[in-house]
């Protein structure tokens, strides 16, 4: 099996789709990842996969519930708190505790990149746990993983100056971090996306601010991914055409562009709600991930 890169998108509870899609690729098709990049829930899944904690990751998803991830919701007092300065509708202390318990940066065995966004600078920041300031600071790296999951308004942004400044979901700038893996020159790039790229109608109307926020984020993320893939395909096509004519396209640094094999595993239809961590919803997403990987790979 050629060297392969794994790219994991965001999607909240839909991350269960990623777990089984990755499992199929690894166990049934023999994929070995030489680099893993993830944002949002893809950051959480990516750390566990890079640590080869496969069984534990699957067990977490098969036993997870809403109250193991967040607290709160759209209630009268949460609205009052927002009016008077609260920064989010939900609390993510349960998720914080899970990350603290389950993630151990010292167990990471594969090159890994985690992305988050600073609301202050607007920059997308890529964290490499094998380099400073993360290599000697496991607490900071865990906070980066948590920061990558933070959806604006839904959860409170993460702060730990000077490293984390109003840090939120990396997917808002880089929903599927394709660029983060190219420096490793993988022959194959497998992108696992938790949402269909083509816009789809919601089965229910969005009649409150949380539903509107979640739907808006989903639409924005899908658009970013669609544009990334379109640009990736365009460059691949140009590289192929140049090679067929006996030419080599080069980057600004003089290195040659190369053609990559890109495989995208994504659901055909919308999965269940981003914040629905109930077991029936999780199992549907897991089944869909396995079946779609089987179809694509």
Tell me: the pLDDT tens digits for 4-61? 999 998 888 999 999 999 999 999 999 999 999 998 899 999 999 999 999 999 999 9
Of 35-49, 90-104, 203-217, 273-287, the one with minimum mean pLDDT is 203-217
Per-residue pLDDT tens digits for 145-197: 888 876 655 555 555 545 544 444 444 444 456 777 888 889 999 999 998 87
Residue 207 has pLDDT above 80, yes or no: no
Q: For residue 175, what is the DSSP state?
A: S
Q: How many CA atoms lie within 13 A of 112 on its CB side?
A: 27
CA–centroid distance for 137 within its chain: 22
- Pair 194, 15: CB distance under 8 Å: yes
CA angle 218, 223, 224 (to 5 degrees): 100
Whole-structure pTM value: 0.83
| Domains of the chain with CATH codes | 4-296 (3.40.1090.10)
Residue partners of 58: CB distance under 8 A and separation at least 6: 19, 20, 23
Instruction: State the CB neighbour count (10 A cutoff) for residue 198.
Output: 9
pLDDT of residue 168: 41
- Per-residue pLDDT band for 212 (boundaries 50, 70, 90) equals low
Query: Residue written as tokens 């993830």?
Result: 38
How many angstroms separate the CA atoms of 107 and 250, rounded?
A: 37
Per-residue pLDDT tens digits for 252-287: 888 888 888 999 999 999 899 888 999 999 999 999
- The tokens describing 265, both together, are 């595993």
Q: For residue 254, what is the DSSP state?
A: S
pLDDT of residue 77: 40
Query: Residue written as tokens 């920061």?
Result: 147
pLDDT of residue 251: 80
- The tokens describing 137, both together, are 């600071």
- Pair 141, 163: CB distance under 8 Å: no
Give me the residues paired with residue 164 across strands. 160
Per-residue pLDDT tens digits for 223-256: 677 777 788 888 888 988 988 888 888 888 888 8
- Per-residue pLDDT band for 128 (boundaries 50, 70, 90) equals very high
pLDDT of residue 249: 87
Q: For residue 173, what is the DSSP state?
A: H
Q: Which residues of 279-295 are buried (b: 16+ CB within 10 A; e: fewer)?
A: eebbebbbebbbebbee
Q: In 131-187, which residue ranges form alpha helices assigned H by DSSP?
A: 138-148, 171-174
pLDDT of residue 170: 40
Residue partners of 7: CB distance under 8 A and separation at least 6: 36, 37, 38, 42, 176, 177, 178, 180, 181, 189, 190, 191, 192
- Per-residue pLDDT band for 82 (boundaries 50, 70, 90) equals very low
Average pLDDT, the chain: 81
Q: How far is CA 68 from CA 61, 124, 278, in A?
A: 11, 28, 10
pLDDT of residue 33: 97
């Amino acid at each position: 099996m050629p060297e392969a890169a794994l790219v994991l998108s965001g999607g909240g509870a839909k991350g269960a789709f990623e777990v089984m899609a990755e499992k199929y690729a690894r166990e049934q098709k023999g994929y070995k990842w030489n680099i893993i990049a993830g944002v949002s829930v893809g950051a959480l899944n990516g750390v566990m996969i890079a640590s080869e904690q496969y069984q534990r990751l699957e067990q977490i998803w098969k036993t997870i519930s809403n109250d193991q991830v967040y607290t709160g919701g759209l209630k009268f007092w949460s609205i009052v708190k927002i009016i008077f300065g609260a920064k989010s509708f939900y609390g993510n202390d349960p998720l914080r505790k899970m990350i603290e318990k389950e993630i151990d940066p010292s167990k990471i065995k594969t090159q890994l990149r985690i992305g988050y966004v600073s609301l202050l600078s607007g920059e997308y920041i890529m964290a490499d746990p094998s380099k400073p300031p993360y290599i000697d600071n496991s607490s900071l790296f865990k906070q980066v993983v948590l920061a990558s999951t933070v959806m604006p308004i839904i959860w409170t942004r993460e702060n730990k100056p000077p490293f984390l400044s109003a840090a939120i979901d990396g997917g808002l700038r880089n929903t599927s971090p394709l660029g983060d893996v190219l420096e490793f020159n993988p022959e194959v790039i497998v992108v696992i996306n938790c949402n269909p790229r083509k816009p789809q109608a919601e089965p229910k109307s969005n009649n409150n601010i949380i539903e509107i926020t979640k739907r808006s984020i989903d639409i924005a993320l899908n658009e970013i991914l669609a544009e990334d893939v379109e640009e990736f395909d365009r460059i691949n096509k140009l590289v192929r055409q140049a090679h067929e004519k006996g030419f080599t396209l080069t980057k600004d640094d003089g290195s040659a562009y190369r053609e990559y094999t890109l495989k995208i595993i994504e659901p055909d239809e919308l999965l269940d709600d981003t914040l629905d961590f109930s077991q029936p919803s999780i199992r549907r997403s897991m089944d869909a991930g396995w079946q779609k990987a089987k179809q694509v790979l």
